[in-house]
Chains A and B, each alone.
Chain A
Amino acid sequence: MTKHTERIEREDLVLFINACLSATSQAEFYEDARGQSLALDFLHEYVCRHYRSLYARTLAAGINDHARARIVESLLCDASDVPDEQRALEGSLIEATLARLPPQRVYRLLEAVCRRRVTNRRVRALVRGWLAGRDVTFDSVKYRRALRTVVGHFHLATPGETGRFLFERCSKDRAYTTPLYESWRAAHYAEDAVYALPYTIAVGFARRLKIPRDRFLERIAPMMTRAERFRSQRAAQRAEANVPGVDLSRERPTRLALFAYALGDDERAARRSELLAAMEQSVARAVALSPMAIGRVVAVLDDSYSTLGSREKRLRPLALTASIDALLRASATSYTGLWTSGAKDAPWIDLRPKGSTRLASRVLDALELRPELLVIVSDGYENDPPGALASVLAAYRSRIDVRREVSIVHVNPVFEAANFGAASFGPVVPMVTVREAEDVVTALGFARFADDKATIDVLRAYLDGRVREFLRLDDSDDDGVVDEPAEREAMMSAEEQSA
């Protein structure tokens, strides 16, 4: 009996962590956003109620930001009858999570908490603690609406002019002494002041003052974060603005692949060598950050039409598959990538989503190469013929490779809401889902729990290990956090100049 409940518990948790790795409540190729968010809401509520301690520990498991924010929200909003030691652990986990989440996500999370009308000593202390680490002047300009909600809701003290800035309207004749606030006030009327503001705020003023796009992009360039510069480079090109080029190799592999696929065919062909080199460097950095010890690897990669993704996630599955291909190539001692379209070791940049999903015969091609690890990257909708892969793999496990010399992992770039992302190629292949190529490291580590062998205790021990690592909080690896100092530095120098 206990064995049975343990199995259910383990399966529930594996399902949940899988969902947290990939799902973002956005539409996918086969499912719409509503279905995705319903499924995700259910999973969060269910796991939070039944396995609260493990639910909190999931924060440390390398899951995506969307899921982290969602977990923190549930933990903060529903904390009745939680024992004290559990509360303490949750507190430190939440604190560590907030420190690593990009600020815009934290503000959105806090707004959600406000909307649910939750306020108690614990939440107030957490919010106060987090805001103490922030530059409130800067945040009150960049996240004015959110900060106003939070300050109003939790009755927080506001130093200096912050209160007036947040809660009063801009007026023509009452100046601020804080330079950033004053720039914000001046930007309502004068173009020069716009360029002292953060980019997202400046964009609004640029529209209001009808500043020509090229001039705006040229002058605001020093105030942009790296992500913003990367995002706006195509717009700058179209506006023919004279903006310094972006170093593509600093982007994460998946985002770089997305960028390359979004280019027109001619431009992609013209920048081909640049993009390929950038991908190599980007992948090399990712590998250096989190190395993988894997030997002979063969990957079967899905480039069927369904990797087109949805309108919200255009080409993301393909870009993710392509960057996983690059990452495995850089990490493994020997590597072969087999695409379902028939290409072998094709350069990632030439791929387009096309054709049906013909996995089974490709997997047999892969198994013939006798790898140590076989990675199948696919959304799990196999249709040529349907269901062949599960049956082929079952036969392979039971008839040919009885001693399990080849380990097989199914990496899924898509969360399948209809059955909560449950394993799609049968019980012999553990499935893990990912959202960024770098997640593959976490995913491969996690894959053994998706298999039937590991027990719930092993999973608990694994999560505890991740928690200890996570709470040490020595390296922060998030874009947003890395970006911020650069942004603030730029702001300082701009202030100095104006003074």
Chain B
Amino acid sequence: MNRYSIESVSLNGLEPRASQCWRGVRLVPLVRTRAVPKLRLARVAHAPELTVTRISAHTAHPERELAFTSVVPHAFVVSWGDAAEAELNQGAAFVRESDGHRFHPHGGSVRVKLRMARRASDRSLRFAPQQLAVEGLLALFFSGPDVASRDWSERVLRRGLDPRVERAVSGRSMEHLAEALRVFEIVDGQCGMLLFFKDMLFGSFVAPTAEDYRSIHDSLVLDLFPSELLEYAAYDVPVFKTSVDSRSVRTIDDLRAALAREERAWAEWSRFMAGDLLTSAMMSSVYSMEGYKLERFVTAPSRKGEHHAGERIVARDGTLAYLKTYRLGVQQARRAYLLKLLGTNEWDLERAARESKMTVGQFVDDLTRVGFGWMLGPKVLDQIRRGTLR
């Protein structure tokens, strides 16, 4: 992800409504205030089987071919144009029937696909939810140092960050999440939702239309979450109850006004809670459709704070048509932060350390702690051994 622009992700054209709580899970419905015409989204369920996706489809050298291996439990099909709904059906059917080749080695089942985001028909596109987001996270400064230096190991100089590993857990293993989604009462006109565990934003999803949202709502349990969420999920949140200010109430109209004030306060609160998602994200474009852009992003990593990786479709006027995010775990955010420091400072250890207000020693420590110790070159290792690194 070396070509990116810094943008903010905002919930343009959507409005939060009163949240619904179940155990430790708080779900905030998002209702559309501005319609996104000529765009539809649907879900195609796959059997959860190993999927090998070829990244460079047109290489003459099979050995140089890059592949991306994944288990994709379902895929989204997005379609656009005047006959979006018809395209959607056609695209979904195409994905269902003829997507990829299937092999059955040793009694298992493996599917081979051509590309990650791929056209399913003329005006529809198939992609796996959160795959773009996670891929964006993994590809962050993936190529490694451009200039050879004895600060860095042979391996990172030759092959970049390959293999880059991050771990996440499925929503299924999350206590109460499936139950919370089941008992959630979908609001009229709801097109999206923000998901909080212990009042921390852990995911978001927006669909183009209410109908699309309804059909996808239940599958949100298949989303990925950072593994520390397992701990968060074990605790209950305090449930905030509305209390109407009754001091100046004389008539039913007064009471109604007090209730309206309270409702506005709830909406404000939801907007405030969702606020942090939405500042400076490193955005890169993946695909453009008529009037819409499919983009992926990672919020610009910083030392502290929460970070999200995500994918979105926006209209030209900035209206959010589709959004799906993955919250980075603390370690993941740290890794992303360090990589960004290195990437923006041309992999110069000293400059990167200076920018992060650490000594080189602390910076190297940090790298080791997050699992990047293998990147360090002979010069740095030598300094560590002799204790001359400061």
| A58 → B minimal CB distance (Å) | 31
Q: Which residues of B contact A361 (CB under 8 A)?
A: 256, 259
Tell yes or no: A211 within 8 A of B by CB: no
| B214 → A minimal CB distance (Å) | 10
A387 to B262, CA, bound (A): 11
A392–B188 CB distance below 8 A: no
| B371 → A minimal CB distance (Å) | 41
Give the most central of A355, A387, A392: most B CB within 10 Å: A392
Tell yes or no: B168 within 8 A of A by CB: no
Query: Can you list 5 A-B contacts (CB < 8 A)?
Result: A356-B18, A386-B18, A388-B259, A399-B250, A400-B249
Residue ID in chain B nearest A360 by CB atoms: B259
A400–B239 CB distance below 8 A: no
B249–A395 CB distance below 8 A: yes
Task: Give chain B interface residues in 1-38, CB to chain A under 8 Å.
Answer: 17-21, 29
Tell yes or no: A143 within 8 A of B by CB: no
Tell yes or no: A305 within 8 A of B by CB: yes
A356 to B250, CA, bound (A): 29
B185–A356 CB distance below 8 A: yes
Q: Which residues of B contact A357 (CB under 8 A)?
A: 185
Tell yes or no: A290 within 8 A of B by CB: no
Tell yes or no: B388 within 8 A of A by CB: no
Taken residue by residue from 350 to 362, chain A's Cβ proximity to chain B (1 for < 8 Å, 0 otherwise) reads as 0000111100110
Q: Which of B18, B185, B250 sits near A385, CB closer than 8 Å? A: B18
Taken residue by residue from 250 to 273, chain B's Cβ proximity to chain A (1 for < 8 Å, 0 otherwise) reads as 111001101100110010000000
- Interface residues of chain B: helix, strand, loop or mixed (majority): loop
Q: Which residues of A contact B21 (CB under 8 A)?
A: 383, 386
Q: Given known contacts A388-B242, A395-B255, is B18 in contact with A383 (CB within 8 Å)?
A: yes
A391–B241 CB distance below 8 A: yes
Q: How large is the interface on A (under 10, 10 to 19, 20 to 34, 35 or more residues)?
A: 20 to 34
Give the most central of A306, A367, A390, A395: most B CB within 10 Å: A395
Task: Give chain B interface residues in 34-86, CB to chain A under 8 Å.
Answer: none
A364–B256 CB distance below 8 A: yes
Q: Which of A30, A364, A386, A391 sits near B252, CB closer than 8 Å? A: A364
Q: Which residues of A contact B241 (CB under 8 A)?
A: 386-387, 390-391
Tell yes or no: A384 within 8 A of B by CB: yes
Known contacts A383-B20, A386-B240; 19 additional CB pairs below 8 A are: A29-B183, A305-B184, A356-B20, A356-B186, A357-B185, A364-B255, A364-B256, A368-B252, A383-B19, A383-B185, A385-B262, A386-B18, A386-B239, A386-B241, A388-B244, A388-B263, A390-B241, A391-B246, A400-B251
Q: Given known contacts A306-B183, A356-B18, A395-B258, is B242 in contact with A385 (CB within 8 Å)?
A: yes
Tell yes or no: A394 within 8 A of B by CB: yes
Q: Which residues of A contact B251 (CB under 8 A)?
A: 400
Tell yes or no: A304 within 8 A of B by CB: yes
B185–A304 CB distance below 8 A: yes
| A255 → B minimal CB distance (Å) | 26
Give the most central of A385, A387, A398: most B CB within 10 Å: A385
Q: Which residues of B contact A398 (CB under 8 A)?
A: 246
Q: Which of B17, B29, B243 sits near A391, CB closer than 8 Å? A: B243
Q: Which residues of B contact A390 (CB under 8 A)?
A: 241
A384–B17 CB distance below 8 A: yes
Binding site for A on B (CB under 8 A): 17-21, 29, 183-188, 239-244, 246, 249-252, 255-256, 258-259, 262-263, 266
Tell yes or no: A154 within 8 A of B by CB: no
A364 to B244, CA, bound (A): 13
Tell yes or no: A420 within 8 A of B by CB: no
A355 to B31, CA, bound (A): 12
B183–A399 CB distance below 8 A: no
Tell yes or no: A176 within 8 A of B by CB: no
A393 to B26, CA, bound (A): 25
Q: Which residues of B contact A391 (CB under 8 A)?
A: 241-244, 246
A364 to B256, CA, bound (A): 7
Q: Which residues of B contact A304 (CB under 8 A)?
A: 185
Binding site for B on A (CB under 8 A): 29-30, 304-306, 354-357, 360-361, 364, 367-368, 383-388, 390-392, 394-396, 398-400
A360 to B259, CA, bound (A): 8
A367 to B239, CA, bound (A): 28
Residue ID in chain B nearest A355 by CB atoms: B188
A392 to B256, CA, bound (A): 9
Give the most central of B17, B244, B258: most A CB within 10 Å: B244
Q: Which residues of A contact B250 (CB under 8 A)?
A: 399-400
Q: Which residues of B contact A355 (CB under 8 A)?
A: 185-188
Give the most central of B19, B183, B240, B242: most A CB within 10 Å: B242
Q: Which residues of A contact B29 (CB under 8 A)?
A: 356
A356 to B183, CA, bound (A): 10
Give the most central of B21, B29, B252, B262: most A CB within 10 Å: B252
B246–A395 CB distance below 8 A: yes
B185–A386 CB distance below 8 A: no
| A368 → B minimal CB distance (Å) | 5
Q: Which of B18, B255, B256 sits near A384, CB closer than 8 Å? A: B18
The 8 nearest A-B residue pairs measured at CB: A387-B241, A395-B246, A305-B185, A388-B242, A385-B18, A383-B20, A356-B185, A384-B18
Residue ID in chain B nearest A368 by CB atoms: B252
A385–B183 CB distance below 8 A: no
A306 to B328, CA, bound (A): 33
Q: Which residues of A contact B259 (CB under 8 A)?
A: 360-361, 364, 388, 392
A361 to B242, CA, bound (A): 13
A357 to B21, CA, bound (A): 12
Q: Which of B17, B186, B240, B246 sits near A399, CB closer than 8 Å? A: B246
| A424 → B minimal CB distance (Å) | 11
Q: Which residues of B contact A388 (CB under 8 A)?
A: 242, 244, 259, 262-263
| A218 → B minimal CB distance (Å) | 42
Q: Which of B243, B258, B263 sits near A387, CB closer than 8 Å? A: B243
| B325 → A minimal CB distance (Å) | 24
| A403 → B minimal CB distance (Å) | 15
Residue ID in chain A nearest B184 by CB atoms: A305
Q: Which residues of B contact A368 (CB under 8 A)?
A: 252
| A378 → B minimal CB distance (Å) | 12
| B26 → A minimal CB distance (Å) | 10
| A184 → B minimal CB distance (Å) | 46
A387 to B259, CA, bound (A): 11
| B39 → A minimal CB distance (Å) | 25
| A201 → B minimal CB distance (Å) | 39
B244–A395 CB distance below 8 A: yes
| A307 → B minimal CB distance (Å) | 10
| A485 → B minimal CB distance (Å) | 44
| A289 → B minimal CB distance (Å) | 35
A360 to B240, CA, bound (A): 16
| B257 → A minimal CB distance (Å) | 10
Q: Which residues of B contact A367 (CB under 8 A)?
A: 252
| B182 → A minimal CB distance (Å) | 9
| B296 → A minimal CB distance (Å) | 32
Q: Which of B19, B188, B256, B263 sits near A354, CB closer than 8 Å? A: B188
